[in-house]
Chain A
Amino acid sequence: MDFLTILQELAGGMLTTIRIFILTLVFSLPLGLIISFGRMSKNVIIRTLIKVYISIMRGTPLMLQLIVVYFGPYYIFGMTISSNYRGTAVIIAFALNYAAYFAEIYRSGIESMPRGQYEAAKVLGYNKLQTFFIIIMPQVVKRILPSVTNEVITLVKDTSLAFSIAYAEMFTQAKALAASAHNIIPLIAAGLFYYVFNAIVAYLMEQVENSMKYYE
């Protein structure tokens, strides 16, 4: 089995992996912002609930969370799980997990903003929404970008955890292929795929960081 054939075999899985990656970011980045508001809420009940949520998401394995999200409806409610649900479960589990991490990153960025920025905005008559989205958030994004890049790179590799519920992303296919062909090349191809994927992600994030270098 030559390398090209292997790549062709894995192509579908690669697209699935990229899909998990993109959908997870699409949902978890905004969700993380909402969770970070809850985490900073003045309401003690909301704040505590969110704290517990974040601590569970960060304190238990993502693989376990994935399995719970996928099999939970069956174990808890006795529902029949359709195989279509596999892909949805992956996105739900990943988005919930990554949102918790992003929430803490947003919080650290928001809390590091000097009070003077809020005060200047208030004296100039900006309302709270304007202050947050026009004055505060753009500066927060610049501050947290390196931490976000870290998480995004981890996410590329974490997509392989979908293997644990037999979701046909690239790693699942590579492993099956290696087993059936008694050949390590599919696994090496998989490794290469993650490496190149991450090199691209790192490059893109660097460009975004550079685009914000015009101010301090």
Chain B
Amino acid sequence: MNILEMKHVKKAFGETGVLKDISLDVREGDVVSIIGPSGSGKSTLLRCATYLETMDDGSIEYIGNDTVQPFGLVFQNFNLFPHFSVLRNIVDAPIRVQKRSKDEVYREARELLLKMGLSDKEDAYPCELSGGQKQRVSIARALAMNPKILFFDEPTSALDPELTLEILKVIRELAEEKMTMVIVTHEMAFARDVSNRIIFMENGYIVEDGTPEEVFTSENARTKEFLGKYHYILE
């Protein structure tokens, strides 16, 4: 079953076309990694899907959605609220926006913190946390809204290799729980490993869309060239 249907989405900043004609369906349980060079439109695609940018043309539909906000987004720079404690960062929106019962929200938030290995940090403030801890809090904050689909915008780009692993482990666990996710990433090995689907974008178009197998063994010259560079880095 499709959760998200994007059809012929176009977006330009001034004269520069960033998304030229993007159609993309995401099925329930999909873990989609979007890869591609910088400036290919990956982040803009996520920002359109989460309504942070308005598209110029096309349509975006969350199927069977009865809530205001069916999605969550995890940012590269976390964007935690610095004046809220860790716990308040997680519970405020479910209580204030979704108007859910406080008891339920606090219970769920503490379960999420336990899962993220941050139970001892619920009263800490974001400035007291490491980058990896901040990112785990921001994942918990997004999950607390019970989204049907979770977007990640380069979630490890601001982190060193150790902290990156920390976050990738969390995302892998979510994938095992069948959370529907769309991940913009430069972590090729991870993308190959965790996703059931990889999209390669270039210059505002989707060049490849297939299983990791298909994309990583693609005969497409541009895909090969891009992935070849990563092989060089990894080997």
- Alpha-carbon distance A214/B88, docked complex (angstroms): 14
B81 near A: Cβ within 8 Å? yes
Residues of B within 8 A of A135 (CB): 81
Contact A120-B125, Cβ < 8 Å, known A125-B69, A126-B97, A130-B96: no
Residues of A within 8 A of B79 (CB): 114, 116-117, 119-120
Check A126 against B96 for contact (C-beta < 8 Å): yes
Interface segment, one of B70-78, B102-110, B167-175, B227-235 = B70-78
Binary contact track B39-76/A, C-beta < 8 Å → 1, others 0: 00000000000111000000000000000110111010
Number of A residues, CB within 8 Å of B: 19
Of chain B, the residue at the smallest CB distance from A212 is B83
A139 near B: Cβ within 8 Å? yes
Check A124 against B126 for contact (C-beta < 8 Å): no
- Alpha-carbon distance A38/B173, docked complex (angstroms): 48
Residues of B within 8 A of A120 (CB): 75, 79-81
Residues of A within 8 A of B97 (CB): 124-126, 130
B218 near A: Cβ within 8 Å? no
Residues of B within 8 A of A116 (CB): 75, 77, 79
Binary contact track B124-165/A, C-beta < 8 Å → 1, others 0: 011100000000000001100100000000000000000000
A12 near B: Cβ within 8 Å? no
- Alpha-carbon distance A109/B145, docked complex (angstroms): 30
B98 near A: Cβ within 8 Å? yes
- Give A210 Cβ to nearest chain B Cβ, in Å: 15
Check B125 against A123 for contact (C-beta < 8 Å): no
- Alpha-carbon distance A106/B147, docked complex (angstroms): 35
Residues of A within 8 A of B24 (CB): none
A-B contacts, 19 listed (Cβ < 8 Å): A114-B79, A116-B75, A116-B79, A119-B79, A120-B75, A120-B80, A123-B69, A124-B69, A125-B68, A126-B96, A130-B97, A134-B92, A139-B82, A139-B83, A142-B83, A215-B83, A215-B125, A215-B127, A216-B125
A58 near B: Cβ within 8 Å? no
Check A119 against B68 for contact (C-beta < 8 Å): no
A122 near B: Cβ within 8 Å? yes
A191 near B: Cβ within 8 Å? no
Q: Which residues of A in the span 169-216 have a Cβ within 8 Å of any Cβ on B? A: 214-216
- Alpha-carbon distance A117/B52, docked complex (angstroms): 12
Residues of A within 8 A of B93 (CB): 124-126
- Give A113 Cβ to nearest chain B Cβ, in Å: 11
- Give B145 Cβ to nearest chain A Cβ, in Å: 7
Check A216 against B82 for contact (C-beta < 8 Å): yes
- Alpha-carbon distance A123/B96, docked complex (angstroms): 14
- Give A209 Cβ to nearest chain B Cβ, in Å: 14
- Alpha-carbon distance A135/B69, docked complex (angstroms): 18
Q: Which residues of A in the span 87-121 have a Cβ within 8 Å of any Cβ on B? A: 114, 116-117, 119-120
A134 contact from B77, B96, B142, B145, Cβ within 8 A: B96
Of chain B, the residue at the smallest CB distance from A135 is B81
Binary contact track B176-220/A, C-beta < 8 Å → 1, others 0: 000000000000000000000000000000000000000000000
- Alpha-carbon distance A124/B68, docked complex (angstroms): 10
- Give B67 Cβ to nearest chain A Cβ, in Å: 9
A73 near B: Cβ within 8 Å? no
Of chain B, the residue at the smallest CB distance from A142 is B83
Residues of A within 8 A of B77 (CB): 116
Of chain A, the residue at the smallest CB distance from B52 is A119
A138 near B: Cβ within 8 Å? yes
Residues of B within 8 A of A124 (CB): 69, 93, 97, 141, 145
Given contacts A125-B97, A130-B97, 11 further A-B contacts (CB under 8 A): A116-B75, A116-B79, A123-B52, A123-B69, A123-B72, A124-B93, A124-B145, A126-B96, A135-B81, A215-B83, A215-B127
